Structure 1
Amino acid sequence: MKRSFRTVVATVSVGLLAASAAACGGSDASGSDSGEITLGVLGPISGAQAQIGQNQVNGAEVAVAQINAKGGINGRSVKLVTQDEGSSPETAAAAIRKLANDGVSLQLGMLSSANCLATAPTLPRLKVVMVDAGCTNDGLTGHDGKDAPHPNFFRVGNADTLMVTSLAKVIAQKFPTVTDYDAFGYNYVTGTSQWKIFQETVKENGVALRTQKETFVALGEQNFKPYVQALASVSGDPKTRGLYLGTYGAGTASFLQQAQDLNLASKYAFIVQPGGYYPVARTLGGRAPEVWNAYDYSYAAFDSEMNDAFVKDFEAKTGKKPVSWSYDAYLAVYAYKAAIEKAGSADYDKVLKALPGIEFDSPAGKLTINAKTHQANTPVVVTHSAGDPNATETVKILETQLVKPED
């Protein structure tokens, strides 16, 4: 069954963006044909999601260091400048505008889909190209045979539906007798829509899924004890029960920590969660439960020289393994490298023309940004992991599966 993608529309006052477009056109630091090539990196480098933003910056910095060590791009060195995306469409718009006003037309990063949805339509007026390295909303790139909705927006990471359907298909195949599901998550559009997609896909793959408990709480909620107690009190055979977790970041860590006291994981055959889980698991001191997760990357998933170099260089820089947000920013830099080499220039117009259909190197092998949809064919990585005090970063990777997008 072909699934239609779900689009979420975000709105923001972007009058300042449009008003400054004239000031940004013509000359930019990215676009001259001599001297350093400047790429702008945006991410939430302050506030609650600062760790994610720093992972994005670190991934981009590793890619730039590798490229410069090999002579740069067309003999020109590359440098990065960063701006804080912040936590709202307004702050993201201001960050994009600041880079554009400073002459940086080739930009990458971003995390919030709401921010991307609000700012993507403004990019042509600003003469900015964006290679996204974090926003997952389906509607940001083309799908279902439709063209890309935003001519200046490209994505190297996964979209929501691909990520969640990949996870659901693996779970349905591995656990066909698990039919009773509880769901707990944050009550926001991505959290609820991903849960809906997961249920539909599991059913489409032959499992008679029945929803038992379904609880979605306000974003930012951290006191989960009443909800954990309610889940733990439900009777039933653990072999037939699954828990879908629709939290993220610190919320996931808080939920799992509070669940440990009641041994909640023992009530289920498995826990599943889409999105960035590994960074949370390694904060739990070897006590993370077994979790099936889907996202863009696991350091253990790719057997390639480029992945080995990425992991080695990232560890040397940060002391930690790279994660999905680092990986996506790393990919974005290499996508720009390929486009600039093809264009023979870092000029805005020439790079914009070169990006559709560009093929670029990655730890997963050669990837291509589809010329019609502006979506890269990055595989989804489904990872099965568990806490282990003796494992690397106290998380044992039990299994990884790559799910490649259909053409």
Structure 2
Amino acid sequence: MLKTLSRLGCISMLVGTGLMASASAGWADDIKIGEINSYSALPAFTEPYRKGWQLAVEEINAGGGINGDNLVVISKDDGGKPAAAVTAANELVSRDGVVLLTGGFFSNVGLAIADFASHKKVLYLAGEPLTDAITWSEGNKYTFRLRPSNYMQAAMLAEQAAKLPAKRWATVAPNYEYGQSAVKVFKELLTKARPDVEFVAEQWPPLGKIDGGAVAQALAAADPEAILNVEFGADLVQFVREGTTRGLFEGREVVSFLTGEPEYLEPLKAEAPEGWIVTGYPWYAIETPEHDAFMKAYEAKYGEHPYLGSVVGYVEFKLIAEILKKAKSTEADDLVAAAEGLTLDTPFGEITMREIDHQATLGAFVGKTAVEDGKGVMVDFTYKDGADYLPSDEEVKTLRPQD
């Protein structure tokens, strides 16, 4: 067990960091988790994410904590900057004594935390960063990832894209690690499935600074039959509005990462595109006991429906709790051993943390966008099990350095 905090010390930590934690009677020993995310840079996703992990921590501690100890979270905002994330990680490990790190949104930030975790030999569970590098080319013993990666989501989307008659494709994506990785793997997978396709144009607007009109005009000039979109957040809104105004999407298929997530679809309201093939989260139409229980608990606590970030935060901390319970230790190597091969029931069904590459088998919903009652929704969707969209162990060995 970790050193017991005094009541005064625990109160001081709570006030000084603004973190969420259990305040159960007796102030039992606390297991401190360091959480880092881009709260100020992308609140549309990270605020629901925070609510999700807060709900999970509340449930974990109400259920007896970690083998009798409370789970306490020290949370920091990295502002979407890799250097700030590394500074926060160093403070959490060296000063605050956390036993592991979690969180991350932007892929470049996640890679920076993963590199820190490798050098400092501390477990890092990345919740959101999607770049394939985090578990493959730059993977390391101490880093794990929860969400389906770019490869997994690209494989799901390319499977649908290959069925389209379109041969001439264009792409648009934010010009940083996530966008570059997503476009690269989608092109590889679609070309493998359909050798007759060609990519005739690429647009790489800077993250958060898209000129939607100029991008739409440049894509239209290439006259593609289909478009791959990787834009999200405010950039997606700009792209959709300007593309619609200029008729970019008329008569063209669009395949789009993340657009079905309510964080990004709801702000479009009646302007949401129709017929795009997307990954997302149709919370309003998932009929399973596991999801129903989660949704009811979330709505009861916050008075609003869950977002995909809510699910990520919730499952992230449920997974952390199971790792700690299984390890019965807070030593990094024991936590790594406990995480490898671990299974967990989630609102989307059972997942496994693969030993070979530290990638969870959490899946994603794939469907089409539509407008109903003046708002964007996902229709004709199916859940794709992440385990079905990952390369074999033999292939992974060629992609990932051996620990």
Residue 3 of structure 1 corresponds to none
Corresponding residue pairs, total: 364
Residue 11 of structure 1 corresponds to none
Deviation at 1:255, TM superposition (A): 1.0
Residue of 136, 157, 163 corresponding to 2:130: 136
- Give the SS at the match of 1:286: helix
Residue 172 of structure 2 corresponds to 184
1:292 lines up with 2:277 in the alignment = yes
Residue 111 of structure 1 corresponds to 105
Amino acid at match of 1:192: Q
Amino acid at match of 2:77: D
Residue of 175, 193, 196 corresponding to 1:205: 193
Worse-superposed segment, 66-75 or 85-94: 66-75
How far apart are the structure 2 equivalents of 1:318 and 1:220? 29
Residue of 239, 244, 258 corresponding to 1:275: 258
Runs of at least 5 residues in structure 1 that lack an aligned partner in the other structure: 1-25
- Give the SS at the match of 1:149: coil
Calculate the TM-score normalised by the size of structure 2: 0.80
- 372 and 257 in structure 1: CA distance in 2 versus 1, 3 angstrom threshold: same
1:51 lines up with 2:44 in the alignment = yes
Residue 226 of structure 1 corresponds to 214
Say whether the 8 Å CA contact 2:170–2:228 is kept in structure 1. yes
Q: What is the RMSD computed on CA atoms of the aligned residues?
A: 2.9
Deviation at 1:256, TM superposition (A): 0.9
Amino acid at match of 1:258: E
Say whether the 8 Å CA contact 1:141–1:150 is kept in structure 2. yes
How far apart are the structure 1 equivalents of 2:85 and 2:204? 27
How far apart are the structure 1 equivalents of 2:228 and 2:169? 7
Deviation at 1:156, TM superposition (A): 1.2
Residue of 186, 202, 223 corresponding to 1:214: 202
1:86 lines up with 2:86 in the alignment = no
Deviation at 1:361, TM superposition (A): 1.8
How far apart are the structure 1 equivalents of 2:209 and 2:197? 28
- Give the SS at the match of 1:87: coil
Say whether the 8 Å CA contact 2:174–2:230 is kept in structure 1. yes
Calculate the TM-score normalised by the size of structure 1: 0.79
- 351 and 190 in structure 1: CA distance in 2 versus 1, 3 angstrom threshold: closer
Deviations 1:312-355, CA, capped at 9 Å, x for gaps: 33334444433333322222211112112212345555433311
Say whether the 8 Å CA contact 1:28–1:105 is kept in structure 2. no
How far apart are the structure 1 equivalents of 2:203 and 2:118? 41
Alignment of 1:281-360 (within 5 A): 281-290=265-274, 291-294=276-279, 297-299=281-283, 302-346=286-330, 348-360=332-344
Say whether the 8 Å CA contact 1:55–1:326 is kept in structure 2. yes
How far apart are the structure 2 equivalents of 1:377 and 1:360? 10
Residue 9 of structure 1 corresponds to none
Alignment of 1:54-69 (within 5 A): 54-69=47-62
- Give the SS at the match of 1:257: helix
Say whether the 8 Å CA contact 1:107–1:128 is kept in structure 2. yes
Amino acid at match of 2:232: Y
Residue of 342, 345, 356 corresponding to 1:372: 356
Say whether the 8 Å CA contact 1:232–1:267 is kept in structure 2. no
How far apart are the structure 2 equivalents of 1:348 and 1:230? 50
Say whether the 8 Å CA contact 1:27–1:103 is kept in structure 2. no
Deviation at 1:252, TM superposition (A): 0.6
How far apart are the structure 2 equivalents of 1:122 and 1:209? 40
Amino acid at match of 1:274: F
Residue 403 of structure 1 corresponds to 384
- Give the SS at the match of 1:111: coil
- Give the SS at the match of 1:275: strand
How far apart are the structure 1 equivalents of 2:55 and 2:259? 20
Say whether the 8 Å CA contact 1:368–1:377 is kept in structure 2. yes
Residue 346 of structure 2 corresponds to 362
How far apart are the structure 2 equivalents of 1:102 and 1:78? 14
Aligned-pair identity in percent equals 25
Residue of 154, 164, 182 corresponding to 1:194: 182
How far apart are the structure 1 equivalents of 2:273 and 2:361? 31
Amino acid at match of 2:234: A
How far apart are the structure 1 equivalents of 2:70 and 2:59? 11
Amino acid at match of 1:310: F
- 155 and 186 in structure 1: CA distance in 2 versus 1, 3 angstrom threshold: closer
